[in-house]
Amino acid sequence: MSGFFADRRVVVTGGDGFLGRYVTAGLERRGCRNIGIPKIEDYDLVKMDNIVRMYEQMDPDIVVHLAAVVGGIGANQAHPGEFFYKNLIMGIQLMEQGRLRGIEKFVAIGTVCAYPKFTPAPFREENLWNGYPEETNAPYGLAKKMLLVQSQAYRAEYGFNSIFLLPVNLYGPGDNFDPASSHVIPALIKKCVDAVESGAAHIDCWGTGEVSREFIYAADAAEGILLATEHYNQAEAVNIGSGFEITIKDLAGQIAALTGFKGEIRWDKSKPDGQPRRCLDVSRAKKCFGFEAKTRFHEGLKATIDWYTTHRPA
């Protein structure tokens, strides 16, 4: 630990959320003594006056912007306007107020959903602008991608130190298991665990199962974000991933085996698959700030399942 964070005031928006708890824990391990977490009950970061009040009260040197309105394919399809507006306005106003206050650094967290639908795999950062995102989550992905434009524009005109990171799909203990808004791993875990308990003979899954995804353990993603916060100060976007790709069908099979579900997995092909492939080129993160994901996928899945079976509501 270098002591970089010891005397800096760091605000983590979304610091009480899934990824945020891992980031704040990492800051504490690094000796950060002043961590600000603007909780939604106290600061609605969609509203400018709340953002100004947060900056005045917390007076950060660094802002790590994790807060987002997120969900799986179903949630994105149900709320495209909300996901676009809230994610865009939060980031734009937080960065602008940070610039006006002269903060040392702004860390903008993007999303793999920003990549074009048919990006060649593995996704390289320079491919970001080579097409339109997958339609079911394009409003969310584009709202986040605009923070890259803002970061680069502010660096060019004002010398403002803002960086932009692109994490792939997250999973791990503490994930969101609400069926209305969860992503694929927690959704599949819940389906399988519920089926085992009820004795159901099958579970139903969206799409064909043939598309692929890359996943990163949340603790690893947090480590990548903190390494970038400490060491990376350039305009180019950086992928944060594991470099591991798996089809949704194989993923469902692994989760079924780990949860003890032995029934049939049915695929509802009337439902959308989303992007055909997701797999990141992670070489830039390793080169620029020495980040490599450490957690093996099977181990991470088991830890996530164990956490869910221990912590889920009765």
Would you give the end-to-end CA distance of the chain in angstroms?
41
Q: Residue 212 forms beta bridges with which residues?
A: 247
The single-letter DSSP state of residue 100 is: H
Q: Are strands 9-13 and 34-36 parallel, antiparallel or unpaired?
A: parallel
Sorted by sequence, the CB contacts under 8 Å of residue 180 that are 6+ apart come out as 71, 74, 75
DSSP 246-273: EEHHHHHHHHHHHHT--SEEEEETTS--
Task: State the pairing for strand pair 162-167/105-109.
Answer: parallel
Please say if 140 is a catalytic residue: yes
Catalytic option among 22, 43, 140, 232? 140
Burial class (CB in 10 A: 0-12, 13-18, 19+), 129: exposed
**CA atoms in the 13 A half-sphere facing the CB of 79:** 13
Active centre residues (catalytic): 140
